[in-house]
């Protein structure tokens, strides 16, 4: 091992120093013998060597040498991937809050917790914090699985689809950031994974926009019962009809999808976002509950009374 003495460059401002890699501005660093120190990025990557190819980021400023070593173990590409997920969560929360028009606690929780987990990876850049980061990503997916499955199955409601693919892909990247703290994939893998995640999101975006633009409203017929789905409620919540063939015309005014479902009558009409749908069915005299099957819309229900 050959020891290189500390050789700071006092004339270089901090900002421009940040673009030079690796950061040798503090402490004594050792360089391995030529036989194992490979200059080729390809060799470094293939060997799983975690030595950073990127500049030591702003995250390392003010850290001790030991902490900087931890950063180097994690790899700059993965630290950057973690930072990008934090930005992605912030953008997601802002977009969703603007569209909904009010601050929802669940949005804040789902955005703030991953961002705090990312802050922790910078505060203590080690395997434990990166593992926590990955676990938070896993929890996001597990806790939202019912919603994710429903949204992914309905690209024709573009808003719900994309507002779901965005955090899901972000959470998957978080999981990989956590896993690679234990089993290095190589630093370049971080860039590839980010590219794949971005490509998947864009593909989903295009598919969902095409599917949504292809929707057409149904036409109302004479004698139809009229229902509006708005702000995750059915209006009115009480309907009356004569026994026999019943027509219901439902306008979904929400950016989210709903269903108009009556279990006893085998009615399960999908209501894509901002679309009108007409459903007909035969109903004997009786009282029936109509409701929406979308998870989280449990309050969305009403009563249909069919006279004899």
Q: How many residues bind Cu ion (CB under 5 A)?
A: 5
What character string, x for contact with Cu ion (CB under 5 A) and - otherwise, covers 247-266?
Answer: -----------x--------
Q: Which stretch binds Cu ion (CB under 5 A): 10-18, 131-139, 275-283, 300-308?
A: 300-308
Window 4-43: contact mask with Cu ion (x via CB under 5 A): ----------------------------------------
CB under 8 Å, gap of 24 or more: what pairs does 260-267 form? 260/227, 260/229, 260/234, 260/290, 260/292, 261/290, 261/291, 261/292, 261/293, 262/288, 262/289, 262/290, 262/304, 263/289, 264/288
> Measured from the CB atom, is 86 or 300 closer to Cu ion?
300
Least Å distance between CB 287 and Cu ion? 21
**Binding positions for Cu ion, 97-156, rule CB under 5 A:** none
The least distance separating Cu ion from the CB of residue 293, rounded to whole angstroms, comes to 8
x/- track of binding to Cu ion for residues 260-299 (CB under 5 A):
--------------------------------x-x--x--
Taking the complex as a whole, how short is the minimal distance between the CB of residue 231 and Cu ion, in angstroms? 10
Q: How far is the CB of 236 from Cu ion (least distance, A)?
A: 16
Closest separation in Å from C-beta 158 to Cu ion: 16
**Min CB(221)–Cu ion separation in Å:** 24
Distance CA 182, CA 174 (A): 14
CB of 111 to Cu ion, least distance (A): 23
For 265, phi then psi, to 5°, come to -110, 10
Q: At what angle do helices 76-100 and 105-123 cross, to 10 degrees?
A: 160
Asked if 227 is part of the footprint of Cu ion (rule: CB under 5 A), the reply reads no
Q: How far is the CB of 96 from Cu ion (least distance, A)?
A: 17
Q: Which is nearer to Cu ion, 118 or 234 (CB)?
A: 234
Compare residues 166 and 290 and give the one whose CB is closer to Cu ion: 290
CB nearer Cu ion, residue 154 or residue 258: 258
Where on the chain is the footprint of Cu ion (CB under 5 A)?
A: 258, 292, 294, 297, 300
């Amino acid at each position: 091992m050959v020891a290189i003495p500390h050789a700071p460059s006092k004339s270089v401002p901090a900002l421009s120093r940040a673009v030079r890699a690796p950061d040798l501005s503090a402490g004594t660093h050792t360089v391995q013998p030529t036989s194992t120190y490979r200059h080729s990025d390809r060799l470094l990557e293939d060997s799983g060597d975690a030595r950073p190819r990127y500049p030591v980021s702003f995250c390392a400023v003010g850290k001790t040498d030991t902490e900087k070593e931890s950063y180097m173990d994690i790899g700059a590409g993965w630290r950057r991937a973690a930072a990008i997920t934090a930005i992605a969560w912030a953008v997601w929360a802002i977009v969703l809050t603007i569209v909904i028009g009010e601050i929802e606690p669940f949005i804040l929780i789902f955005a703030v917790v991953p961002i705090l987990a990312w802050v922790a990876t910078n505060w203590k850049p080690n395997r434990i914090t990166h593992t926590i980061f990955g676990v938070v990503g896993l929890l996001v997916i597990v806790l939202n699985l019912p919603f994710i499955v429903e949204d992914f199955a309905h690209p024709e409601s573009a808003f719900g689809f994309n507002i779901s693919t965005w955090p899901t892909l972000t959470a998957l990247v978080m999981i990989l950031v956590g896993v690679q703290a234990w089993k290095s994939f190589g630093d370049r893998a971080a860039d590839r994974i980010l590219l794949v995640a971005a490509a998947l999101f864009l593909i989903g975006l295009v598919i969902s926009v095409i599917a949504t633009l292809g929707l057409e409203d149904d036409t109302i017929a004479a004698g139809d019962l009229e229902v509006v789905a708005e702000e995750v409620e059915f209006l009115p919540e009480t309907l009356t009809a004569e026994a026999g063939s019943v027509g219901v015309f439902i306008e979904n005014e929400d950016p989210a999808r709903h269903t108009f479902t009556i279990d006893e009558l085998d009615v399960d009409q999908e209501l894509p976002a901002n679309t009108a749908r007409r459903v007909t069915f035969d109903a004997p005299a009786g009282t029936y509950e109509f409701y929406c099957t979308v998870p989280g819309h449990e309050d969305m229900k009403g009563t249909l009374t069919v006279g004899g």
